[in-house]
Amino acid sequence: MTAYVMESDAEARRLVAQAQANPVLEHLRTTGLSEGHVALDVGCGPGVITEVMATQVGPKGSVVGLDFNAQRLTEARARCAYLGNCRFLDADLRASGLPDAAFDYVWSQFVFEYLPQPEPALAELLRVTRSGGRVVVSDVDGVGMFNWPCPPLVQEGFPKLVGAMTTATGFDIHVGRKMYSLFRRAGLVDVRVHLAPLWVVAGKADARLVEDWDIRLRTLEPVAAPFFGGVEAYRAFSRAYMDLLCDPEALKYSVLLVTEGRKP
Ligand SMILES: C[S@@+](CC[C@H](N)C(=O)[O-])C[C@H]1O[C@@H](n2cnc3c(N)ncnc32)[C@H](O)[C@@H]1O
């Protein structure tokens, strides 16, 4: 099993705050999640989106949340315990063990970026989707890269951070833009892509985004520091990035690409 590079004691807190900061219900509705659907949340984490999905499909529908992290699943089960129409599955999304053609709607957010090989994962999502059902992948493209004015320490350091993650874990910071082509090659039809802001910070970032990046940068230190020539150089980069987030004169933004397709 491939480890999840962002794992830490603070990861559940970061994921809950991140999911709650974004209009996920809008993305789910736009891409066709409806009342009565049998739906799957792939890489569900602490279950914030699973909860929204279960509410959207209502008592006539149901949702399965899938993750390979037992702690995340415990949190997700607790969060959704009051709902009678969802359950959780401890499985690797690349070999879920779920039956063929079982779901009307299959969703995955912020998971494909961590997969060294997206094709087998997408094939598994297709396998469990019924004919006429929808597959939806919501993911980043260049997360954290779009900032101006941008100090040289960040400008030069960010590619090192991305290089470290790519080399060490197969992370793909541009996976969002690649999903359209991957969907087409996988045989999905009516493929559409929705572009949404992940954050737009004109000036000082709010406490949620500051904590999010603080957790990210601390968690990645063991992986990234060697690519900076040592811990001190990495910490200097991290401080510069955090300063940039709080710079009232700088614009920071990131985008989300939500790709949807129909299984023929
Ligand atoms: C960044 S979190 C996203 C959580 C949730 N989708 C959200 O948007 O809030 C990624 C999740 O995917 C899970 N994950 C990563 N690779 C996985 C795999 N191969 N199989 C199952 N779960 C995986 C991790 O354990 C983690 O909970």
Taking CA atoms only, the protein residue closest to ligand 1 atom 11 is 43
CA angle 29, 94, 175 (to 5 degrees): 60
Tell me the C-alpha distance between 44 and 108, whole Å.
8
pLDDT in tens, 213-257: 999 999 999 999 999 999 999 999 999 999 999 999 999 999 999
- Residue 6 counted as domain residue: no
Query: Which residues is 259 bridged to in the sheet?
Result: 137, 193
CA of 150 to the centre of ligand 1 (A): 30
Residues 175, 193 contacting (CB under 8 angstroms)? no
- Residue 1 counted as domain residue: no
For 224-262, letters b (16+ CB in 10 Å) and e give bbebbeeeebbeebbebbbebbebeebebbbbbbbbbbb
User: For ligand 1, what atom is nearest to the CA of residue 15?
Assistant: 9
Give the domain CATH number at 220. Answer: 3.40.50.150
Q: Quote the pLDDT of residue 24.
A: 96
pTM here?
0.96
Q: Quote the pLDDT of residue 198.
A: 96
Mean pLDDT of 22-50: 97
Residues 80, 86 contacting (CB under 8 angstroms)? yes
Question: How far does CA 79 lie from the centroid of its chain?
Answer: 19
CB-based contacts of 150, cutoff 8 Å, min separation 6: 244, 250
- Residue 228 counted as domain residue: yes
CA of 41 to the centre of ligand 1 (A): 10
pLDDT in tens, 90-117: 999 999 999 999 999 999 999 999 999 9
Q: Quote the pLDDT of residue 68.
A: 97
Share of the chain above pLDDT 70, in %: 99
- Residue 135 counted as domain residue: yes
Q: Which two structure tokens, joined as six digits, stand for 248?
A: 């009232």
**Ligand 1 proximity of 69 Cβ (cutoff 6 Å):** yes
pLDDT in tens, 127-167: 999 999 999 999 999 999 999 999 999 999 999 999 999 99
The residue type of 256 is L
Supply the range of the domain harboring residue 26: 11-262
**Ligand 1 proximity of 228 Cβ (cutoff 6 Å):** no
Three-state SS for 169-231 is: HCCCCCHHHHHHHHHHHHCCEEEEEEEEEEEEEECCCCHHHHHHHHHHHHHHHHHHHHHHCCH
Mean pLDDT of 179-192: 98
**Ligand 1 proximity of 160 Cβ (cutoff 6 Å):** no
**Ligand 1 proximity of 13 Cβ (cutoff 6 Å):** no
**Ligand 1 proximity of 94 Cβ (cutoff 6 Å):** yes
The yes-or-no verdict on residue 1 having pLDDT over 60 is no
**Ligand 1 proximity of 67 Cβ (cutoff 6 Å):** yes
**Ligand 1 proximity of 110 Cβ (cutoff 6 Å):** yes
What is the band of 2 on the pLDDT scale with cuts at 50, 70, 90?
low
Average pLDDT of the chain is 96
The yes-or-no verdict on residue 3 having pLDDT over 90 is no
DSSP 98: P
Q: Which helix (H) or strand (E) holds 234?
A: helix 231-245
Tell me the C-alpha distance between 10 and 73, whole Å.
15
SS3 category, 262: strand
- Residue 34 counted as domain residue: yes
Mean pLDDT of 38-61: 97
- Residue 3 counted as domain residue: no
- Residue 251 counted as domain residue: yes
Tell me the C-alpha distance between 75 and 251, whole Å.
35
CA of 43 to the centre of ligand 1 (A): 3
Number of domains in the chain: 1
CA angle 39, 117, 137 (to 5 degrees): 30
CA of 246 to the centre of ligand 1 (A): 28
- Residue 2 counted as domain residue: no
